[in-house]
Structure 1
Amino acid sequence: MDLGISGRVAVVTGGDSGMGFKTAEFLLREGVKVVLTDIDDTQLQKAASELAAFGEVRAVAADLSGMKGVEVLAAFANMAFDDKPTILVCAAGITGASGDFLELTDDDWLEAIQTDLMAGVRATRAFIPGMRNVGWGRIVLFSSEDAVQPYVEELPYAAAKAGVLNLAKGLSKAYGPDGVLVNSVGPAFIATPMTDAQMEKKSKEKGITFGEAIQQTLDEERPGMVAKRRGKAEEVAAAVVFLCSEHASFITGEFLRVDGGSVMTMGA
């Protein structure tokens, strides 16, 4: 299927691994030129080298938890190719601090908010003007199942991801008339380095194998996940790239859950 976005330029944050990496790959396969960013320059350059097999990719390390990092990214992205970016995928995120609500500090909360919410605020503020100028844009913000089905030990993350939903909806209303479509995706328990680390920690704490940690999480915390497995990064990437395409030209302000049924309600 021709998605109608060949030749466009995309910015993908959180692109050195996991869902961001796969999204970049899928965009490149569609003929999109990609600007890739993440914090760790060594890992980022390795990812960019691997992705170069699929198309034109440029990479710049940037910490999007502060405005300076977004300024670095925007300056680089606007000069990376002849055309300016008209696709933005904000996949950068952290789990952040977890535990008993009463034991979490303000700094714990602010860490999650700065990366999981404010990075998206800063990135969209940087790139929407260019999209408005050409009358076409696609933005996909990564939220989470936690945004609508919070887990009590991950409240800073859940609250920040709920903010992402509100941000996406608000931006869709504000800039839809200018041709800029904004949506969000809600992955759940995807096989990524982030959930690998969580499962490794769980296996050590409980004295069980990595596979047993996954199964226990599915049984006890994800009973609605009918496939009884972790999702794949490419399953999320396929949904994201569709939302970036011309085939999604009548979709904006939506929250697409890629969660294997994990969220057990009909609401957002």
Structure 2
Amino acid sequence: MDFGITGKKALVTGADSGIGWHTAQTLLGEGATVVVTDLDQGRLDDAARRLDATPGAVHAFAADLTDPDDVARLHERARDAVGAIDILVHAAGITGAQGAFHEIDDAGWSSTIETDLLAPVRVTREFLPELRRGWGRLVFVASEDAVQPYANELPYCAAKAGILALSKGLSRAYAQDGLLVNAVSPAFIHTPMTDAMMRKRADRLGTSVNDAIGSFLDEERPFLELKRRGDPTEVAAVIAFLCSDAASFVVGSNYRVDGGSVATI
């Protein structure tokens, strides 16, 4: 299928690894020019070198998305490199503060909300004018946690629920400008974030990482019917579809790529 994004300009946040990196790779494969961003320039440069791209198709600019001035600088550098963007994929995020609700203080809540909700707001606001030029795509990476919250990571759950509300609201505000806004909600994908979670679980239980994954699926994700971690390419494929002409009648939707993990329809 021709996704119709050859020559489009995309910005992918959180792109030094995981879902963001694989999304950048998929968009490049569909003919887009891609600007990738993440916190550390060295790691980002290494990630960009590992992308399979023609010369000049990838541009890597580090930015702290919790800093409005840094977001403005990212915008300036992206505009100088590729011009106005057509596609924004916001994949950057952190697990944030975890633990029992009564043990998480304001600082834990604030840092999680700042990165997982306010940073997407900030980046969207910065790039919105060029996404509203008649053809635009905006995809937020949310989470199963947005609709099926877990008691030990409530700041993350609340932030991702906010992302779904933000996505739906933006879709209603700007669809008439040609900007189609949607969200993708993964569950337990094989990324550095879940690697760290499973190493921590393995240490706590005194087991191997593989055993930790198995017990996590049995005890914490009983409805994940495929009984495995998802591959980031499986999420990137859905994101690329939502960025394409093939999704020209899809707006304000939340696509769950969760192996069945969310228990309801």
Identity of aligned residues (%): 56
2:19 maps to 19
2:15 and 2:149 map into 1 onto residues whose CA distance is 25
Q: Is 1:227–2:235 an aligned residue pair?
A: no
Report the residue type matching 2:166 in the other structure: L
1:27 and 1:123 map into 2 onto residues whose CA distance is 19
**What is the TM-score of this pair, normalised by structure 2?**
0.98
Q: Which moved more, 1:142-151 or 1:53-62?
A: 53-62
Q: Which moved more, 1:208-217 or 1:122-131?
A: 122-131
2:184 and 2:54 map into 1 onto residues whose CA distance is 24
2:76 maps to 75
Report the residue type matching 1:259 in the other structure: D
1:89 maps to 89
Q: CA deviation at 1:197?
A: 0.4
2:99 maps to 99
2:201 and 2:136 map into 1 onto residues whose CA distance is 41
Please identify runs of 4+ aligned residues in structure 1 that moved more than 4 A. none
| SS class of match (1:61) | coil
Report the residue type matching 2:27 in the other structure: L
2:149 and 2:227 map into 1 onto residues whose CA distance is 20
Once the two structures are superposed, what CA deviation does each residue of 1:183-218 show, in whole Å capped at 9, x if it has no partner? 001000000000000000110111000000000110
Q: Which runs of 5+ in 2 are unaligned?
A: none
Once the two structures are superposed, what CA deviation does each residue of 1:1-36 show, in whole Å capped at 9, x if it has no partner? 110010010000000000000000000000100000
| SS class of match (1:175) | helix
RMSD: 0.9
Q: Is 1:170–2:176 an aligned residue pair?
A: no
Q: CA deviation at 1:162?
A: 0.3
2:34 maps to 34
Contact 1:25 1:54 survives alignment (8 Å): no
1:194 maps to 193
Contact 2:20 2:91 survives alignment (8 Å): yes
Once the two structures are superposed, what CA deviation does each residue of 1:50-98 show, in whole Å capped at 9, x if it has no partner? 11535610000001012122112111111112x4101000000000110
| SS class of match (1:88) | strand
Q: Which moved more, 1:29-38 or 1:50-59?
A: 50-59
1:73 and 1:141 map into 2 onto residues whose CA distance is 18
Contact 2:38 2:44 survives alignment (8 Å): yes
Contact 1:203 1:212 survives alignment (8 Å): yes
2:202 maps to 203
Contact 1:184 1:256 survives alignment (8 Å): yes
1:194 and 1:69 map into 2 onto residues whose CA distance is 24
2:25 and 2:153 map into 1 onto residues whose CA distance is 30
1:48 maps to 48
1:251 and 1:114 map into 2 onto residues whose CA distance is 29
1:128 maps to 128
Once the two structures are superposed, what CA deviation does each residue of 1:132-185 show, in whole Å capped at 9, x if it has no partner? 2x2110000011000000010000000000000000000000000000000001
Contact 2:28 2:53 survives alignment (8 Å): no
**What is the TM-score of this pair, normalised by structure 1?**
0.97
Once the two structures are superposed, what CA deviation does each residue of 1:228-263 show, in whole Å capped at 9, x if it has no partner? 000000000000000000010100100000000000
